[in-house]
Amino acid sequence: SELSGSGLTFIGMGVSGGEEGARHGPSIMVGGTEDSWKRVEKVLTAISAKFKDEPCAAWLGTDGAGHFVKTIHNGIEYADMQMIAEIYGILRDGLGMGPKEIGKVFDGWNKGRLNSYLIE
């Protein structure tokens, strides 16, 4: 509100994509005023990742909406990583499998519906 009428605006952005996002375009989650989004939309959609030819950049609401969505994204990813660690422990300690055997299991999962860079 302090910037109101000054011509200045700000945005808060959550950015996701890791190494691939850095090289080929990230997913961009924008929070701020709708006017702020309109000022940067063309640039951010141009540099963002694309899915089915649609940009992975969106205005998600005012204030910290972009960072909030990124925080939820991170929480889901961390839960997935914990689940992978738990499964590794069950395969190792419960079934007596070694690292190579477990790697083969994860490789098999990565070729189907469970495909994920988290288990590469």
Give the catalytic positions in this structure. Answer: 70, 77
| Closest-CA residue to 28 (of 10, 41, 39) | 41
Q: Do residues 62 and 32 lie in contact, with contact meaning Cβ atoms separated by under 8 Å?
A: yes
